[in-house]
Structure 1
Amino acid sequence: MPEAKATGHDLPASHASPPTLIRGEPSNMTTEPSDRTIVLHLLRGAVPERADEISGLWSQYGHAVEVAPSTKGVTMNADASRIKFDTKTIDFFWLLGFSAWRAIEAYSPALVLAMLTGTPLDQALNIDSERGQYEFDYKQRIASAQSLIAAEQTPDVSWPTDVPEPTADRDRLGDNQRKAVFDLVALALAFALLHEFRHVMYCADNSAPSTLPEEEIGCDTWAREFMTSGLAAYAQEHGHDYVQVQQKRAMGIALAAVIIHAMTPTHAHWGNRQYPPIAERLTAMIGGYNLPPGSSFWPFTACLLIALMRQENRPLDIVAHSNQEMVEALLDRLR
């Protein structure tokens, strides 16, 4: 598996994945921070340049954060008075995030071949003689993560031996590759929680769009903007490379898009009264980034999208001359 180093600033481990947010029921001890405070710390750590702003909004809306008992399905929703999730859903973010990362080893050789030779992507995939086993392993991992949705609780599924247990201690993960995935999972989770917080704001202000699908897209767009605007001043102030910070945020949001896709029932992928077509949500999260052609965001996101297309047996007779062009073509094909 090709090593991928973390890009941009590292999230503080104490803020990126607090233990009660990752695994286990909330503690009743008065010395422990409340679940509401833990989520706030996660968001402040994920988007430090807007830490004061999110704290102010947290106080303004006064909503609760409810950690529900784990049950079958996915629990992550919000109304005017609270954000609600269960720990099994948080575990799903972790497991699918670490599993989806392996799309790089499954599909990047064919992606490189397609870029260098102008070969259609489906032909490049067929030329890669080693892809079969890597793809089989990848699909097994994704199936294991998907089984968590149907389970009552996390211990009911077989946890892959090479995927670390959820932890708030980033340094315990050892190698840089796992630390990079830790950061991206934390950013993906922050995106999802900001999405839910936007629902809180819409409900409390009585300002929601006229239809639920429009509201979903509005929440996605707001969460993306919250995580990606104002980066230039932050990077300059703290001595970070702006492009690397933007790239890392964008990669975290791309991972969130893949996780949200996996959480969405297949029958709702084309849209219904509650949700827009999943391709519209993916485009709202992934499309339109102004990153350099050489940014790692493009091949990373292309591999994630190729994996989605392969899972759905969609045609991949795409000729693209850059990773950015490939991402744009894949998003267009998903529609």
Structure 2
Amino acid sequence: MTTEPSDQTIILHLLRGAVPERADEISRLWTQYGHAVDVAPSAKGVTMNADASRIQVDTKTIDLFWLYGFSAWHAIEVYAPALVLATMTGISVDQALKIDEARGPFEFEYKQRIASAQSLIAAEQAADTDWPADVPQPTADRDGLGDAQHMTAFDLVALALAFALLHEFQHVRYSVDSSAPATLPEEEIACDTWARDFMTSGLAAYAKDNGHSYAQVHQKRAMGIALAAVTIHAMTPTHAHWGNRQYPPMAERLTAMISGHNLSAGSPFWLFTGCLLIALMRQEGRPLDIIANSNQEMVEMLIDRLR
């Protein structure tokens, strides 16, 4: 008779798989803090929080990471041509978007996918949402997806979800150790920064042992964290984007998650992240009269504009 793994074990395996070079450390911390993983019944809104005794999440929120991640992955095909044109020619993003006459149908489909993800937040159950036809249903079988693009999106979604769970785990640690920063907004930023650093520090030896360059491993982790950033942005109610007593402004959280990566200006991370941020700006109807000389500079200016 086979025994189904517990929710605790499933989450632990996800974290160990996302950050394999620190798998033993993750297990040690998991044992040390002795917290539970509580899978709550699905409900309207988002369920992902933590206290001293447990991390709580519902399956609908995990589905949201999947649906939003697979949808946001398409931001590259929609906005990369305009972003490349803007940085190469010195025109604004708005100007480059107008020149890209082929963008229209791609952007329409992109917005439909993102709208489906947004409707999932408001739904009671995942089954209440119209799932986009070109987004596969959530599965643990990566290879079974059979499509290179889908497998790449799978990897980034797994990293994004791992980042969010590590963020919640740091809340557990602060609570147990009575070491939390003075205010809740400061604690949120500190948890973001800790999770980012945990996933991206000490990569050189791991990359070498597995036949990858440091830049390859780091940029993939960073892309997963950028995907987490825009997913968390989507999960945060609009009225809280500018901050309140519990949460810092979303621009500060985006900065904490996306900045601080020691990647070259030519890394694909900056192109990917720039496309994600342009998509956010377009969804909010904000002007994109931004002129930048590189994708990295563009990302920095886009984050600043979101403030």
The AA in structure 1 aligned to 2:136 is: P
Q: Which of these residues, 292, 299, 305, is aligned with residue 277 of structure 2?
A: 305
Instruction: Tell me the residue number matched to 2:211.
Output: 239
Aligned pairs for 1:190-269 within 5 A: 190-269=162-241
- What's the counterpart of residue 55 of structure 2? 83
Q: How far did 1:288 drift?
A: 2.7
Number of residue pairs the alignment of both structures matches: 307
Corresponding residue for 1:18?
Answer: none
Aligned to 1:7: none
Give the corresponding residue for 1:32: 4
The answer to whether residue 303 in structure 2 is matched with residue 325 in structure 1 is no
One-letter identity of the residue aligned with 1:315? P
Paired residues for 1:100-249 under 5 Å: 100-249=72-221
Gaps of 5+ in 1: 1-28
Q: Quick one: percent identity of the two aligned structures?
A: 79
The separation in 2 between residues aligned to 1:261 and 1:279, in whole angstroms, is 9
Q: Deviations over 1:119-144 (max 9, x none)?
A: 11111111111222211111111011
Letter in 2 for 1:144: S
1:82 maps to a residue whose letter is R
Which amino acid counterpart does residue 63 of structure 1 have in structure 2? Answer: H
Equivalent-residue separation in structure 2 for 1:324 and 1:280 (angstroms)? 17
Alpha-carbon distance between aligned partners in 2 of 1:307 and 1:276, rounded to the nearest angstrom: 22
Gaps of 5+ in 2: none
Q: Find out whether 1:270 has 2:242 as its counterpart.
A: yes
Counterpart in 2 of 1:315?
287
Secondary structure of the equivalent of 1:65? strand
RMSD across aligned positions (CA): 1.0
TM-score, L = length of structure 1: 0.90
Counterpart Cα distance in 2 of 1:73 and 1:65: 19
Corresponding residue for 1:22?
Answer: none
- Distance in 2, Cα, partners of 1:36 & 1:81: 13
Match of 1:72 in 2: 44
Query: CA–CA distance in 1 between the matches of 2:97 and 2:221?
Result: 29
